[in-house]
Amino acid sequence: MKKGLILSMILASTFFVTACSLFGGDDDNVVFESNVQEKRIGTLKSLGGMSVGEGTHILELKDKSTMRLKSSKINLDDEKYISKMVEVRGPVAKTSDEKELMDVQSIDLYEDEDDQNAIEGVETDYTNAKLGIFLTYLDSWKITEEETRIIFTAPEVNTDEANNLDEATASEPSSTTKPNEELKQDVVIIERIPNPQKKTLESFLQLPADSSKLMSLGYTQTLVGADRLDGLKKESSDRYEIDIWLTRAEYVYQFSFIGSEHADVAKNRNTFFSMISSFKFVGILEEDTDEENTQEEEQDSVEENTSEEADSANNQVEEDSPTVKDTPKVDSAPVTETKTTTSSSDSTYSLIAQYVGKEINTLAPESAETGSWKTYSFEFVDPNYVYAYYTDGTNDRRILLSYEHDGTSFDTNIEAYFQPGETTSWTRVSGENPVENKEKTVVEVTAGGTTQSAVVKEGYSYFESLPYDFLAQYPSGWYFSGASGGDGTLHHYGFSNQPVENGNELVSIDIVKGSIPAGSSISVGENTGVKVYENGEVAVYIARADGTLYKIHGGSGYETSVIDIAASIKAN
């Protein structure tokens, strides 16, 4: 046998033993309990096609420690990443021998190895409720907010260096995203573009749907943000311009990095990718319009007459305002069902909604962290209760009020106070709820005032999926949890009569790709789908407007719940 072959076998054996000692035993059952994405920076190394437990690659960090990596969505063997400094993000779990394992959701070249020490600024949360986005950014960047876009401007480049830039090689941003004629600093631009026909990204950008043809044009399909949303990405050859697109309801969101040739561009590009990795959609808060202001003016005469009574009510509210308890009780938000009829109570609902909207900063048991509170939805329970939902753009809250209204005056009292819960929609942190699970009428705040949009069925709760833009119902006593998907599932929602943990789900909703399988045609509510019995479960598949599918499934003993939840699904 040749010496070279013997040496190769010895080296291979050594690598195998080293890999096994690094990663321990079989970790195929590692559970990623958290959906929180963590960030790591290091050198990506392959295991040469081997797989030890679930790990297929390792990341060597700057302190020479290592962590294991896997990914079902990203090609970690791409030659542009192997043996390069990269930034990876994803949920991290512990293996049986306490090693870290990351399920990589995003990866980007980390071009400046000394960037960690060079970065100026603190990573800070940013929410724009008008555009409906959340992300983190460096507070050393300047923010400029416009009607339909946000511009993040990087710190200025060293003056002497900037004067020596070869402007002829700088990438020219498109006319729709260029912030000024002469780019002196790198910028990140987030723009919301109308897409009233809800076209796919490929159709909106007039691109072929075939992925191979997309790649030939320089576009790549990518997963974006903490919720792993499907998007498209395009980079210029010099990487001075990078564009990423996402869809949401009747909008397309475009995220652009626009840079030029200077020493800080790699650092700023890394910051852009970190911002994208932290991105989430949040609720959109409509702005007041002249029409709404006019409607409010028309109510001034009524409110002037009730000012004395309102002051009395507010004083009573301050007296009775509940405080947060250490051990909150659980309550859930309601389930919606489409309602098209109107009633004589609509005008009363509108008056009360306008009154509570004006007084919410007095009524709310706590002060807003940012700016002021603003109401966005109400749920009325006969004969005289209303849930008010409100936000400061960062935090969401809910209160239950009892009220009296005789046509000229208002009197309100806080019955219960709620904050978003970890295992259910809302947790009651104070007070009592005398109308829990009762039928409710939903009144939404819109640019034109208020509109009655739904009736909440007795005994049900609802949740809203912001990433995939739909509402669904589930039994009031149940809990739900959302998480990123895998193996063909884009997103997963689980429901159970106990806090949702691995293995105890009774019914699930998955957003999946593919075609509807063969089965029995079924009409559920306003939806039409196919019912399939598979692997001891019953599943209902319903087509979505974006070409993906809802898959509502559960054990055969919960077929009624599966059907009820499928019937309640409603696109926003």
Give the DSSP H/E element, type plus range, for residue 211. Answer: helix 211-216
Q: Which pLDDT does position 345 carry in this prediction? A: 54
Q: Which pLDDT does position 330 carry in this prediction? A: 31
- Helices (H) then strands (E): counts for the chain: 11, 35
Beta bridge partner(s), residue 410: 405
Q: Running DSSP on this structure, what letter comes out for residue 545?
A: T
Residues of the chain with CATH 3.40.1000.10: 115-160+173-281
Q: Which pLDDT does position 523 carry in this prediction? A: 93
Of 331 and 138, the structure prediction assigns the larger pLDDT to 138
Residues of the chain with CATH 3.30.200: 466-572
Of 250 and 3, the structure prediction assigns the larger pLDDT to 250
DSSP-based three-state secondary structure for 50:
coil
Of 385 and 28, the structure prediction assigns the larger pLDDT to 385
Q: Which pLDDT does position 13 carry in this prediction? A: 43
Cα(first)–Cα(last) distance of the chain, in Å?
A: 69
Task: Return d(Cα 458, Cα 62) in angstroms, integer.
Answer: 57
**Is the pTM value of this prediction over 0.85?**
no
For the chain, what percent of residues have pLDDT higher than 70?
72
pLDDT at residue 507 greater than cutoff 90: yes
Predicted confidence band of residue 11 (pLDDT cuts 50, 70, 90) = very low
Q: Which of 220-229, 313-322, 493-502, 539-548 has the highest mean pLDDT?
A: 539-548
**Residue 178 CA to its chain's centroid (Å):** 27
pLDDT digits (tens, 9 = 90+) for 390-422: 988 778 899 999 998 777 777 889 999 999 876
Q: Which pLDDT does position 53 carry in this prediction? A: 59
Q: Are 493 and 552 in contact (CB under 8 A)?
A: no
Predicted confidence band of residue 360 (pLDDT cuts 50, 70, 90) = very high
Q: Which pLDDT does position 453 carry in this prediction? A: 62
Average pLDDT, the chain: 76
Residues of the chain with CATH 2.40.50.140: 32-109
* Window from 300-309, 379-388, 428-437, 556-565 with minimum mean pLDDT: 300-309
* Candidate CATH numbers 1.20.120, 2.130.10, 3.30.200, 1.10.3470; the one for domain 466-572: 3.30.200
Q: Is 547 left (phi over 0), alpha (psi -120 to 50) or beta?
A: left
Superfamily of domain 115-160+173-281: Mog1/PsbP, alpha/beta/alpha sandwich (3.40.1000.10)
Domain range 32-109, CATH class = mainly beta
DSSP-based three-state secondary structure for 379:
strand
Q: Which two tokens stand for residue 152?
A: 């993040």
- Of the CA atoms within 13 Å of residue 533, those in its CB half-sphere come to 5
**Residue 70 CA to its chain's centroid (Å):** 23
Q: Are 380 and 386 in contact (CB under 8 A)?
A: yes
Of 110 and 330, the structure prediction assigns the larger pLDDT to 110
> Per-residue pLDDT averaged across 428-444, rounded?
86
pLDDT at residue 165 greater than cutoff 50: no
HEC assignment per residue over 82-124: CCCEEEEEECEEECCCCCEEEECCEEEECCCCCHHHHCCCCEE
* Window from 386-400, 455-469, 549-563 with minimum mean pLDDT: 455-469
| Type of residue numbered 279 | F
User: Residues with Cβ < 8 Å from 112, sequence gap 6 or more?
Assistant: 118, 266, 267, 270
Give the DSSP H/E element, type plus range, for residue 48. Answer: none
Chain length of the chain = 572
User: Residues with Cβ < 8 Å from 454, sequence gap 6 or more?
Assistant: 336, 337, 338, 339, 441, 442
pLDDT digits (tens, 9 = 90+) for 44-86: 998 876 666 578 899 988 777 888 998 877 788 888 888 888 8
Tokens 């819960």 correspond to what residue?
A: 421
Predicted confidence band of residue 536 (pLDDT cuts 50, 70, 90) = confident
| Type of residue numbered 20 | C
> Per-residue pLDDT averaged across 465-493, rounded?
81
> Per-residue pLDDT averaged across 521-529, rounded?
91
